[in-house]
């Protein structure tokens, strides 16, 4: 060691009362790093909730001052004060993540834990240990060289660099304040989405009221339409005019989206794009014509990641005018129980339905269940009777043959109508409905739901995973399909679905991306009315991610899977399930002007960025998403 360095280090050591300089540097760096994270938190919270923004600014200033003071004027009093203050910050953080704070946008509701606040808290916890060590003076001052001091300081320095990077990344990718998906542009005439309503007409009018309200079901809080989970089944005839009044008695804003129905854009229920979310105590009227017959559903499209699993969904069935005679017609909404991963059908893990021998039964399966983080689909299969799949997503298949049992991969949002004849004796059972395994799977088994139809002997158990998979690309028989047969597309767009770490909405997280970007910054698909648009959808994850990609306001004609053209019946769906490593080609006719969402229906994927819009030329929206309006469409 060079004598001068030793002398310097020695004199420094004396100036610092014999404390190890590395400890002081470390604690200063850690405190400054936490301050950087709090500055980025201030950037994110200021527009959302002013008191927190101001709090984080003061906290960051205090921490910077502390970091400087630790180096310049170290002393026992300072360390004791810093220890108490830092412990206090950790205490407030723990409360905010467990019971919630009284001063918050939503008082007493716990905040989610993110990569940033964990990093800041870890750094503060290490600082507390260092403050304790600094308060107990070392018995014998040691002198150290600069290199050794630098080495001893490097872990804290690395942590601070990480904190600075996280802080900069999140400050640059904040929660949007007021993002407009299709702003009105100066000097360009445009039609506002609010004007895209159903024309007046004399269709038979069906009126409904859906009251969003909090109730307790089996000891658990549920957010419901009309007090039940699922909400009421709305049954109408094709061509009816529906007028549905949403009354909001929830503590938060909400909306209703009519999943699969080709409604006018103003009635689509997407908070922040086609309307403002309907605040507590307010109401809103949706009006549209049920132009397509089939099995559909409705659900909140305001903060759906939170609101759908709490119970804000229900079935909507549109009967064709000449309904074939069917003795039994059951809607089976498959869902997770509010606040749980437990799977149920119409609220029951084991449902029993009536049917007499030889009766024809239609089961309208709707998958409203929140899957695991991979988006793993349900695999319903019927045992005890051969069956046909009469329709997918409400659209009839041509000449569906009777088969079975096979597992039908059904992603969230998708529907399948099964039709079968009851055997002359014994029951029929729907199996293959299993809930998401908990992240810590060993803590509890995935739940299983069944539906038993009829009475008498129950068919023997089958291993659903071993059953063949139903293949929609070679089922039924060919029929004319205007989009398929034409084979000409005005526009082809690639939709590449990916997963990876990154900054989004003021945090660092695993993101689900479309074309490498996350919502609301995925470049929209621009279309003009009348175009036929082809989408080439690629799932770049080869292992286990499933993405049910849902289009609003339109219906896809499926063209091909993995490059192989459809061999059987035309298949028309609003949600195409893109399995690991798969590619799907679909096309739709742009015949319903508006600003329409296209997103993964695995709610956690949509939240993590897998969402975008299809923007018609000449259409704009006055609504914005983000903290200013409180609209959260995904
Ligand atoms: Cu069923 Cu955009 O949703
Ligand atoms: Cu997905």
**Which atom of ligand 1 is least distant from the CA of 413?**
1
**Which atom of ligand 1 is least distant from the CA of 606?**
2
Instruction: Pinpoint the alpha helices (H) of 369-448.
Output: none
Per-residue pLDDT band for 20 (boundaries 50, 70, 90) equals confident
**Which atom of ligand 1 is least distant from the CA of 260?**
1
Question: Residue 34: pLDDT above 80?
Answer: yes
Q: Output the furthest CA–CA distance in the chain (Å, rounded).
A: 101
Please tell me the distance between residue 522's alpha carbon and the centre of ligand 2 in angstroms: 15
Residue pLDDT, tens place only, 396-434: 999 999 998 999 999 999 999 999 999 999 999 999 998
Please give the Cα distance from 555 to 395 (Å, whole number): 9
| pLDDT computed for residue 18 by the predictor | 64
Contacts for 617 with CB less than 8 Å, ≥ 6 apart: 526, 527, 528, 529
Radius of gyration of the CA atoms of the chain, in A: 29
Please tell me the distance between residue 259's alpha carbon and the centre of ligand 2 in angstroms: 17
Q: Whose CA is nearest to atom 3 of ligand 1?
A: 259
Please tell me the distance between residue 71's alpha carbon and the centre of ligand 1 in angstroms: 55
Quick check: 5 and 146 in contact, CB under 8 A?
A: yes
Q: Tell me the backbone φ, ψ of residue 504, rounded to 5 degrees.
A: -160, 135
- The burial of 69, by beta-carbon neighbours within 10 Å (0-12 exposed, 13-18 middle, 19 or more buried), is given as middle
- The burial of 218, by beta-carbon neighbours within 10 Å (0-12 exposed, 13-18 middle, 19 or more buried), is given as exposed
The bound ligand whose nearest atom lies closest to the alpha carbon of 511 is 2
Ligand 1 touching residue 597 (CB < 6 A): yes
The bound ligand whose nearest atom lies closest to the alpha carbon of 578 is 2
Helix axes 21-45, 76-98, angle to 10 degrees: 40
Please tell me the distance between residue 435's alpha carbon and the centre of ligand 1 in angstroms: 20
Please tell me the distance between residue 53's alpha carbon and the centre of ligand 1 in angstroms: 33
The bound ligand whose nearest atom lies closest to the alpha carbon of 413 is 1
Ligand 1 touching residue 552 (CB < 6 A): yes
**Which atom of ligand 1 is least distant from the CA of 552?**
2
Residue pLDDT, tens place only, 193-244: 999 999 999 999 999 999 999 999 988 999 999 999 999 999 999 999 999 9
Ligand 1 touching residue 19 (CB < 6 A): no
**Which atom of ligand 1 is least distant from the CA of 259?**
1
Please tell me the distance between residue 327's alpha carbon and the centre of ligand 1 in angstroms: 31
Please tell me the distance between residue 540's alpha carbon and the centre of ligand 2 in angstroms: 11
| pLDDT computed for residue 8 by the predictor | 43
Q: Is 272 left (phi over 0), alpha (psi -120 to 50) or beta?
A: left
Ligand 1 touching residue 550 (CB < 6 A): yes
> Which structure tokens are listed for 109?
């509701």
Which strands, in side-by-side order, build the sheet including 387-392?
Answer: 343-345, 328-336, 360-367, 415-421, 387-392, 395-396
**Which atom of ligand 1 is least distant from the CA of 633?**
2
SS3 string, 584-604, reads: EEEEEECCCCCEEEEEECCHH
Give the residue among 147, 144, 150 at the shortest CA–CA distance from 11: 144
Ligand 1 touching residue 415 (CB < 6 A): no
**Which atom of ligand 1 is least distant from the CA of 634?**
2
Please give the Cα distance from 514 to 373 (Å, whole number): 17
Residues of the chain with pLDDT > 70, as a percent, come to 94
Burial 388-420 (b: 16+ CB within 10 A, else e): bbbbbbbbbbeebeeebbbbbbbbbbbbbbbbb
Ligand 1 touching residue 257 (CB < 6 A): yes
Burial 226-240 (b: 16+ CB within 10 A, else e): eeebbbbebebbbeb
Identify any residues that bridge with 501 across adjacent strands, giving them in sequence order.
510
Ligand 1 touching residue 299 (CB < 6 A): yes
With vertex at residue 559, the alpha carbon angle to CA 558 and CA 561, rounded to the nearest 5 degrees, is 90
Contacts for 160 with CB less than 8 Å, ≥ 6 apart: 29, 30, 32, 33, 36, 123
What is the pLDDT of the chain when averaged over all its residues? 91
Residue pLDDT, tens place only, 327-385: 899 999 999 999 888 899 999 999 999 999 999 999 999 999 999 999 999 999 999 99
Residue pLDDT, tens place only, 555-596: 999 999 999 999 999 999 999 999 999 999 999 999 999 999
Please tell me the distance between residue 203's alpha carbon and the centre of ligand 2 in angstroms: 38
Please tell me the distance between residue 184's alpha carbon and the centre of ligand 2 in angstroms: 31
End-to-end CA distance of the chain: 61
Give the residue among 529, 546, 547, 549 at the shortest CA–CA distance from 617: 529
């Amino acid at each position: 060691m060079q004598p001068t360095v030793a002398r310097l280090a020695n004199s420094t050591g004396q100036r610092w009362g014999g404390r190890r300089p590395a400890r002081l540097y470390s604690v200063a760096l850690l405190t400054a790093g936490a301050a950087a994270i709090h500055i980025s938190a201030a950037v994110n919270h200021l527009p959302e909730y002013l008191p927190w923004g101001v709090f984080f600014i003061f906290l960051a200033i205090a921490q910077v001052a502390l970091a400087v003071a630790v180096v310049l004027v170290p002393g026992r009093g300072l360390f004791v004060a810093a220890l108490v203050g830092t412990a206090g910050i950790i205490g407030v953080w723990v409360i905010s993540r467990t019971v919630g704070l009284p001063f918050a946008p939503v008082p007493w509701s716990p905040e989610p834990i993110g990569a940033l606040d964990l990093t800041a808290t870890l750094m503060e916890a290490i600082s507390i240990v260092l403050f304790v060590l600094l308060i107990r003076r070392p018995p014998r001052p040691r002198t150290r060289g600069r290199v050794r001091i630098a080495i001893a300081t490097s872990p804290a320095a690395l942590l601070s660099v990480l904190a600075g990077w996280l802080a900069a990344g999140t400050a640059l990718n904040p929660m949007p304040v007021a993002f407009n998906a299709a702003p009105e542009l100066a000097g360009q005439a445009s039609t506002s989405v609010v004007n895209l309503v159903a024309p007046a007409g004399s269709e038979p009018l069906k009126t409904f009221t859906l009251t969003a309200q909090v109730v307790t079901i089996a000891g658990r809080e549920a957010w419901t339409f009309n007090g039940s989970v699922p909400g009421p089944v709305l049954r109408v005839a094709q061509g009816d005019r529906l007028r549905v009044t949403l009354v909001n008695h929830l503590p938060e804003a909400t909306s209703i989206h009519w999943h699969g129905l080709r409604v006018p854009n103003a009635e689509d229920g997407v908070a922040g794009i086609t309307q403002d979310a309907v605040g507590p105590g307010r109401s809103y009227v949706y009006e549209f014509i049920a132009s397509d017959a089939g099995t559909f559903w409705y659900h909140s499209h305001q903060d759906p990641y939170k609101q759908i699993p709490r119970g804000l969904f229900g079935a909507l069935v549109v009967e064709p005018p000449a309904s074939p005679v069917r003795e039994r017609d059951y809607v089976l909404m498959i869902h997770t129980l509010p606040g749980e991963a437990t799977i149920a059908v119409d609220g029951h893990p084991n449902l029993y339905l009536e049917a007499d021998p030889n009766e024809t039964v239609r089961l309208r399966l709707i998958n409203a269940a929140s899957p695991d983080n991979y988006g793993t689909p349900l695999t319903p299969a019927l045992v005890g009777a051969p069956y046909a799949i009469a329709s997918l997503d409400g659209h009839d298949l041509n000449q569906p043959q009777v088969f079975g049992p096979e597992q039908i991969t059904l992603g969230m949002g998708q529907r399948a109508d099964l039709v079968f004849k009851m055997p002359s004796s014994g029951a029929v059972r729907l199996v293959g409905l299993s809930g998401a395994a908990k992240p810590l799977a060993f803590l509890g088994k995935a739940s299983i739901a069944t539906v038993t139809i009829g009475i008498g002997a129950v068919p023997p158990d089958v291993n659903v995973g071993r059953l063949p998979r139903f293949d929609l690309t070679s089922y039924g028989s060919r029929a004319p399909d205007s989009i398929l047969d034409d084979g000409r597309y005005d526009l082809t767009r690639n939709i590449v679905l990916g997963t990876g770490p990154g900054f989004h909405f003021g945090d660092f997280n695993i993101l689900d991306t479309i074309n490498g970007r996350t919502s609301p910054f995925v470049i929209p698909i621009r279309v003009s009315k009348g175009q036929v648009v082809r989408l080439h959808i690629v799932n770049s994850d080869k292992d286990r991610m499933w993405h049910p990609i849902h289009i609003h306001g339109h219906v896809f004609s499926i063209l091909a899977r993995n490059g192989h053209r459809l061999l059987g019946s035309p298949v028309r769906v609003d949600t195409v399930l893109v399995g690991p490593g798969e590619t799907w080609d679909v096309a739709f006719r742009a015949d319903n002007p508006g600003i329409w969402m296209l997103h993964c229906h695995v709610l956690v994927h949509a939240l993590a960025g897998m969402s975008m819009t299809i923007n018609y030329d000449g259409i704009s929206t006055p609504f914005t998403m983000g903290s200013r309006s409180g609209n959260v469409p995904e």
